[in-house]
Homo-oligomer: A and B are copies of this chain.
Amino acid sequence: MIKVGIIGVGTVGTSVAQILVDNADIISARAGTDIIVKRGVVKNLSKDRGLDIIITDNVDDVLNDPEIDIVVELMGGIEEPFEVVKKALKNGKAVVTANKALLAYHRYELAELAKDIAFEYEASVAGGIPIINALRDGLSANHIESIMGIMNGTCNYMLTKMTNEGVAYDDILKESQDLGYAEADPSFDVGGYDAAHKLLILASIAYGIDAKPEDILIEGIENVSQDDISFAKEFGYAIKLLGIAKKDGNEVELRVHACLISQDEMIAKIDGVMNGISVVGDKVGETLYYGPGAGGDATASAVVANIIDIARSGKSTPMLGFAKPLDGELTLKPIDKIESKYYLRINVSDKAGVLAKITKIFEDNNISVETMLQRPATNNSANILISTHIAVEKDIQNMIKKLESLDFINSTPVMIRIV
């Protein structure tokens, strides 16, 4: 019999305990052994969670219990769980976590400590979708050319509603908060940080690359407006917040931002709170993984799958997919060097000669215009919507700074990259 200790019995932790009871029959048949939760650790002992497990508020009751084989870390945070899982590993316990922030900062230290013991984290990326499994095992024969994913259900829900129902950003944010999809402080989701944590984890498995959130380009969806959505529709695009990892020679670019993406791409067809991740391998071509990226039961499904894996075979795969470092290691491409097509929305005073001045600035910054649309705005202002050919991030950023400084530009131009 395998005994589990759960540290952090909130929504996901409760679901984990419940699944191990509800589905004990099939889990036991698949694992070849019974799996039970021996103990759960909580902060508030007085709250009833409706579970038939021993509850404690002392994490050492789990970490020092010699009967416990697997520690499930669901406490949240970064440094505190880091200390907890280190101690668990030191005490010879396998670890399962759903904590993407912990991994975004400490995955390489953990991989080092977990060389001979299982440390699994399927639930940390895209909730119930077994994407770690697919990338680390199913696609292991491939050099990964790119990963492109909808990794944040809140943003996707908001962008879908804005697109399908014409709702304004602020209204849909409020609705998402009321529905519990977005937090009271939504910046972690809508600012792209949540997706960035997940992207960093996937990039390590794909490329063996060690990067931290601070190192990469992270933008959110806060500036997307109905003007942009109607431009997107007109030109056959959807707007999605994507996490993108792309190999270019010996460099890997990692970035999270809103994107205009052709409506024909499978990933553009993923709507609502769902997540979807497209992976292109040099041999297999494109595969895509779709499903619920959040929710107690969906996330717990991935946690319990990891527990079953460990019950079946202990440690079977290196934590980050590499048994030894890759020769000729890949490095992170500097943000300035990223190349993309770009869309810009520039709000200008509606005066003669403005268009000529703007196009001159594009030219001066090596930016070649692909399409241009001018639309009336309000109060003698106009929106100029421009898409470019492939350009370099540095040039675009310089140009935006230049545009901002001009007196006929009414606000900071909005830029969305085109995939």
Q: Give chain A's interface residues, CB within 8 Å of chain B.
A: 15, 19, 22-23, 25-33, 122, 128-130, 133-134, 137-143, 208, 266, 269-270, 281-292, 295, 297-298, 300-305, 307-309, 312-313, 315-318, 321-328
On chain B, the residues within 8 Å of A291 by CB distance are 284-288
Residues of B within 8 A of A26 (CB): 142-143, 326
* Number of copies of this protein chain within its complex: 2
Instruction: State the CA gap A344–B122 with chains docked (Å).
Output: 45
Q: Are B285 and A292 in contact (CB under 8 A)?
A: yes
Chain B residue contacts of A289, Cβ below 8 A:
134, 287-290
- Pick the contact of A23 from B143, B285, B300 — CB < 8 Å? B143
Residues of B within 8 A of A298 (CB): 283-285
Question: Is the Cβ of A290 less than 8 Å from the Cβ of B292?
Answer: no
The answer on a CB contact under 8 Å between B305 and A137 is yes
* CB-defined contacts of A134 to chain B, threshold 8 Å: 130, 133-134, 138, 289
- Residues of B close to A32: CB separation below 8 A: 318, 323-324
B302-A138 in contact (CB<8A): yes
Contact B312 A283 (CB under 8 A): no
From B22, B28, B283, A301 is in contact (CB under 8 Å) with B283
Enumerate chain B residues within 8 angstroms of A133, measured Cβ to Cβ.
130, 133-134, 137-138
Specify which chain B residues have a CB less than 8 angstroms from the CB of A321 in the assembled complex. 30
Is there contact, CB below 8 Å, between B308 and A141? yes
21 contacting pairs across A/B (C-beta < 8 A): A22-B283, A23-B141, A28-B324, A30-B318, A128-B281, A130-B287, A133-B137, A133-B138, A137-B309, A142-B301, A266-B270, A269-B269, A283-B297, A283-B301, A284-B292, A284-B297, A284-B302, A288-B288, A309-B316, A312-B317, A312-B323
Q: For A297, what are the chain B residues with a Cβ–Cβ distance below 8 Å? A: 283-285
Alpha-carbon distance A321/B28, docked complex (angstroms): 11
In the docked arrangement, what's the CA distance between A277 and B92, Å? Answer: 38
Contact between chains at A305 and B141 (CB < 8 Å): yes
In the complex, chain B residues whose CB is within 8 Å of the CB of A141: 19, 23, 27, 300-305, 307-308
Contact B30–A282 (Cβ < 8 Å): no
Chain B contacts of A27 at CB under 8 A? 140-141
